[in-house]
Structure 1
Amino acid sequence: MYTIKKGFDEFNRQRAAKLYSEAFERKFSKVVGNREVVEGLLEQCMDSQFCFGAYNENNQLVGLMGFHVDNQALIKLKISSFIKSFGAIRGIYKASLLQLLFNHKSDNAKQLLMNGVAIESTYRGRGIGSQLFEALFTFVKAEGYESIKLHVIDENPRAKALYERLGFVQKKHEKLPRWATDLFGVSGFSAMVLPIGEKEKK
């Protein structure tokens, strides 16, 4: 078992950025650049309050689950950071493209939007994802949310199968236009929802 905590401290900020850059490299690489550049930007753009972290015995972050509530999220794209890294024109262009890709919203005020799960490669298959989900379910019920929504790309069928086993149901599928597929490396995504009442019945 690993220790699950809400958020992460500054000691683990770089590890948090590394976890997300590796897990979602497909989404970031073509628009932003190599993994080192992505990690640097994520370090500046991550709000540690909006996630759950899994920690090993040395208090190192080995798993991360982000969420979005009340217009606040784990990753807040800061145009100023992009401008600093790429210059004004390229920075605004790159930030705008990523905003298009990550512009997901909850359906109502009683729904929490999950922003993805990232597990360090050497720790996968050890039940960390399940522990993070249980922490999220506990948080959602305590805060009075009625459902959880997430988005999964077509190129990640294993993640979709996992979400289905947890009780998430696909509500919508969106196919991206060819130009977006070529740019992001993502052909489409499914919006999936889990009503909390349904989770409690399982």
Structure 2
Amino acid sequence: MVLIRHGVATAQRAQAARLYWQAFGGKLGTVMGPEPKAMAFIERVMAPDHVISASDEAGALLGVIGYRTARGSFVGGRMSDLVAVYGRFGAWWRGHALGVLAEDLEPGTISVDGLAVAEAARGAGVGAALVEALSREATMRGFARLRLDVIGENLRARALYDRLGFEVTARCESRLKALIFGYRSSLTMVRHL
């Protein structure tokens, strides 16, 4: 049985950071690495009020879905957080590189800020359960749309989002993202709530 809850238990913060890094380290590694610093940064800035988690009956973390609203995001942080982990110069260039990913939210839209599922739990419906839980949360808060971005080559994630009723609303080809993050194309997908 999968237990869904808003937030991440304090005892699960390190696990949540690890899941996030396992899911996005390939994309963010050049900018956020080395891994120990990336993990320190993620744990430092994780906002427990912007995440929904899934655990098994024994309390093991199975997955997380972070989200972003006008009030904040699951893994955001400020320049001072980057400085604390990477130093001034490291924070400066990382801040500029991460700025390439920043996008404004349309009114009435909540954005997925990372969906990460433990490898052993993939294919068991955990990702779908987390998306559904976030959709319910977004509806209760008065949002009309759930938005996410997926790397064009991530066919497994794309198939999940298609099954869950998301529609592609934009395609982005970016040489800069290819250079910095290792992927050239991304899709913006929206699910109307």
Give 1:3's aligned amino acid: L
Residues 134-145 of structure 1: pairs in structure 2 closer than 5 A:
134-145=132-143
TM-score, normalised by the number of residues in structure 1: 0.89
The match for 1:157 is 155
Q: 1:78 and 1:59 mapped to 2: Cα distance? A: 31
Partner of 2:114: 116
For the residue of structure 2 that corresponds to 1:193, the secondary structure is strand
Residue in 1 that maps onto 2:91: 91
1:102-139 CA-to-partner distances (Å, cap 9, x unmatched) read x133222x111111210011121211112112211221
Distance 1:114 1:13 in 2: 19
Q: 2:86 and 2:73 mapped to 1: Cα distance? A: 24
Deviates more, 1:46-55 or 1:59-68: 59-68
2:174 corresponds to: 176
Distance across 1 between alignment mates of 2:92 and 2:59:
37
Could you tell me which residue of structure 2 aligns to residue 188 of structure 1? Answer: 185
| 3-state SS of 1:186 partner | coil
Aligned partner of 1:131 in structure 2 is 129
How many residue pairs get matched?
Answer: 193
| Structure 1: gaps of 5 or more residues | 197-202
Distance 2:136 2:90 in 1: 42
User: How much does 1:173 deviate?
Assistant: 0.7
Contact 1:16–1:64, Cα closer than 8 Å, also in 2: yes
Q: What is the aligned partner in structure 1 of residue 29 from structure 2?
A: 29
**Per-residue deviation, residues 121-170 of structure 1 (Å, max 9, x unmatched):** 11212111121122112212222211111111123122112111111111
Aligned equivalents of 1:69, 1:104: Cα separation in 2: 11
Which region of structure 1 is more displaced relative to structure 2, 182-191 or 45-54?
A: 182-191
Q: Distance in 2 between matches of 1:112 and 1:125?
A: 25
Unaligned runs of 5+ in 2: none
Aligned residue runs from structure 1 range 22-61, under 5 A: 22-61=22-61
Q: Hey, which bits of structure 1, 4+ residues long, moved more than 3 A?
A: none
Cα separation, 1, equivalents of 2:120 and 2:76 = 28
CA distance in 1, matches of 2:173, 2:71: 25
CA RMSD of aligned residues (A): 1.5
Quote the offset at 1:70 in angstroms: 2.1
How much does 1:8 deviate? 0.8
Is this contact kept in 1: 2:100–2:177, CA < 8 A? no
Query: What TM-score does the superposition give when structure 2 sets the normalisation length?
Result: 0.93
Equivalent pair of 1:153/1:189 in contact (CA under 8 Å): yes
| Shift in Å, 1:99 | 2.7
